[in-house]
Structure formats: C-alpha cells, structure tokens
Amino acid sequence: MKKIFLNLGRQPLANSFLKDISKKTIKREFFYNLKICFDTSNFLVSIQRPVNPKKQYTNEYAHRASESQTMRTAFKNIAFNLKKKFRPSTILEIGSNDGVFLKNFNPKKVIAVEPCKNLANITKKKFKTYPEFWNLKLSKKITKNKQRKIDLVFSANTISHIPNLKESLSSLYNVLSENGVIVIEDPSLLSILKNNSYDQFYDEHVYVFSAIAIKCLVKDYNLRLFDVDKISTHGGSLRYYICKNTAKYKSTSKLKKYLETEKKNNLNKFETYKKFSNRVKKSKKNLYELFKKIKRQNKKIISYGATYKSTTVFNYCKIDNKIFDYVTDTTKNKQGKFTPGTHIPIISPERGINETVDYAFLGAWNFKKEILKKEKERIKSGLKFITHVPYPRII
C-alpha cells in the first residue's frame, strides 16, 4: 500500500528554465503537485503522480553531467574499475547524457541510449546512439541489431527517472547476456534521510531507491541484486550490481551488511518517513528565516549552481528574486535564462561571483568540496556560503 509522507507543494518542472519572463511565458508555465509516498509492500519511495516523460526529456534538456570535475573523475574511475572487474565486450549506457562515462571506452564496444535529442546529438558523433526512451521495444531493437547480448549495462541517475519501472527492469533482463551485469547508480535514500536533503525530490526523481527496495523489486524479473557500493556522488549515492538469477555472481557480505544498516535505520517503516517530513518542514522555516535575517541587514545573497534540486528548495520555501539577486551556473545553456517557478536570473560565475556578493547559497551542495576549493580566495576576502544540508546554516 502506498502512503504519502511528504508534500512539497506546487512545483514546476526542474528542467524548465525560462528564456524570458514575459506575462505570456509565465502564464504558460507548467506546474504539478509534488507528493512523495512510501510503498509498505516493497519499501519503494516514489512520487505519487509522475509527470509525462515526454514533457521532461526534450531537445532542450539543460543538465550536462560533465560540468563538474568531481563527476568527470568519478565516471573515469568507475569506467576503469568496471572494465577491470567484468571485462565486458559490449557496453550499453542508459541515459548517456553528454557521454562523460562512455568516453572512457572503446567506441566500437559501446551503445548509448539517450532520449534528449540535444544530448544524443553530442554522443552520436562517436558512439552508436539511440535517441529514444528506454523500454521493451528499444531493448528488442538493440538485441536484434547486436548478435550478442550486453555484458555490462551502466545507468547513472536514470533508472530512477523512468516511471514504468516494471518495463524498465524487464527490458534490462531482455538485453543482458547470461553472466552480464547491470550497474545502476542513484541517490541513496538513507543519505537523503540523514542529510535532510529533500531537494532530491523533484519531477525527474520518480523513485528514490534503497537497497531493500531494489532487492525486492528485481526478484520479479528473474534478476538478483548481488552487491552494492556506497559512493559519495550527489550527496551520497548507491551503486547496485544486478545479474540474472542464474548468473555466476555470489551475494557479497558487503551487501548483507548494507541491507542490515538500512533496516537498523528503519527504512522499511513508514514512521521513519513521517519523522523526515517533520524535519523538512522545520528546515523550510529555518532557511527562510535565515535569508530574511540576512536581507534585513541589507546584504546581497546569490545562489551558486542552478541545480534541479534548487527548483524544489526555491518553490517549496518560497524563495524568489526578492531574496536572491541571481543564480550563477557554469552551464552555458542555463545562462541568460530564469529559474523555474521563481524566475530568478541565471548568469555565469565570471559575471556573478565578485566582491559585491556577501552570501552564496549552495544550490550545488553536493559539490561543496569542489566549490569551496575553487572559491578559496573569495572566501578569504569575505564571501560566506549558506547551505540547508543537513540543516540551514552559514558555513
């Protein structure tokens, strides 16, 4: 049974950066209600009513996975480790974005799946790319074109975005070779609860997985979770290793231990999520009050990183251009636009990060280490950072 535990209110699509803020554009802005629920039968946390993916993964998709040094290094390292561990002769990536993972492989061995046409256009120059949604039809097309099935399927921050999880999993089974491995990375539910990072909930994150949920879910598709890695990306993620039931891989003691950790933290109980919901409400109130207090002192506040996560924070906490002068972001195609729902201008860091700024809210809090290092000199000359993770405060 699905039970709602968190209501993040009326939200725009996290990717719907506006080109202008004319009355006509604002009137046409799309909103939906963001409510999060817990399924007591399989421990799965999901959005109550997902948005149609055709509205989300368009030719104007803004996020570029290669934008941070942290992610470039993380993808390089995991590509190296997976090659070493599984020696795959065929690799399929679902949600290949701008190719930051795939570029570490021999193009002859690789297939990319990316429904956002603007991104698929980037990878198709080098890799066989299907500019399509991941589903059964596509998985059959891929295995028909390839004589052999796939040895390694990699998917970072994508399976959690696909509403039809059942079809997603059966399609994965369909492409996989007998001893093939599916490696999925997504934000970890336990980290979100610990960090109080409710901004990991937005339209694209239809599911927030835990190991107990994944273990339970894949069983119905003759698949088996056999290992898990705790990783630091995106504020704490999990890397799941899944194979066919009949494959040679044995369940690791690391997986057993991690499943126990999740149970010890009561991830299988609804009350845990109710408590989280109360912490989120408190965080909203305290963050808003912190900004108000700073504004009363006539200080200038900006936001650092026009993240999708920030869309949830800004719209839920009712933070707009009365609080922030602007948001900075290194991604070229976000610059010159306005934040979804709250209409704050987005500009480049070169223009926006200067001595006039007193405080910068860490929209990209998951890159805190990289950002604080980059802004070392500015911090020395007085710039202060604010975060809401794990609770609102000046760093």
Binding site for ligand DWN (CB under 6 A): 63, 67-68, 157, 204, 234, 305-309, 328-331, 364, 366-367, 370-371, 374
Distance CA 326, CA 273 (A): 33
Residues contacting 388, CB < 8 A, separation 6+ = 196, 199, 283, 287, 313, 361, 365
Q: In the complex, what is the shortest distance from the CB of residue 63 to ligand DWN, in angstroms, rounded to a whole number?
A: 4
Whose Cβ is closer to ligand DWN: residue 151's or residue 329's? 329
Inter-residue contact 302 to 319 (CB < 8 Å): no
Q: In the complex, what is the shortest distance from the CB of residue 19 to ligand DWN, in angstroms, rounded to a whole number?
A: 17
Whose Cβ is closer to ligand DWN: residue 153's or residue 159's? 159
Residue least distant from ligand DWN (Cβ): 305
Structure-block tokens of residue 154: 């990699």
Q: Amino acid identity, residue 281?
A: K
Distance CA 18, CA 25 (A): 8
Residues contacting 158, CB < 8 A, separation 6+ = 94, 95, 134
3-state secondary structure of 219: helix
DSSP state of 367: G
Q: In the complex, what is the shortest distance from the CB of residue 179 to ligand DWN, in angstroms, rounded to a whole number?
A: 29
Distance CA 351, CA 371 (A): 16
Q: In the complex, what is the shortest distance from the CB of residue 367 to ligand DWN, in angstroms, rounded to a whole number?
A: 4
Whose Cβ is closer to ligand DWN: residue 171's or residue 197's? 197
Whose Cβ is closer to ligand DWN: residue 182's or residue 306's? 306
Whose Cβ is closer to ligand DWN: residue 190's or residue 371's? 371
Q: Which residues pair with 156 in a beta bridge?
A: 185
Q: In the complex, what is the shortest distance from the CB of residue 256 to ligand DWN, in angstroms, rounded to a whole number?
A: 28
Q: In the complex, what is the shortest distance from the CB of residue 269 to ligand DWN, in angstroms, rounded to a whole number?
A: 26
Q: In the complex, what is the shortest distance from the CB of residue 72 to ligand DWN, in angstroms, rounded to a whole number?
A: 10
Q: In the complex, what is the shortest distance from the CB of residue 366 to ligand DWN, in angstroms, rounded to a whole number?
A: 5
Distance CA 321, CA 302 (A): 9
DSSP state of 89: S
Give the number of other CB atoms < 10 A from CB of residue 109. 17
DSSP state of 33: E
Distance CA 341, CA 14 (A): 9
Whose Cβ is closer to ligand DWN: residue 83's or residue 374's? 374
Q: Angle at which helices 165-175 and 211-218 pack, to 10 degrees?
A: 70
Whose Cβ is closer to ligand DWN: residue 258's or residue 308's? 308
Q: In the complex, what is the shortest distance from the CB of residue 364 to ligand DWN, in angstroms, rounded to a whole number?
A: 4
Whose Cβ is closer to ligand DWN: residue 68's or residue 342's? 68
Strands 207-208 and 301-304: what pairing?
Answer: unpaired
Whose Cβ is closer to ligand DWN: residue 243's or residue 317's? 317
Helix boundaries (H) for 196-252? 211-218
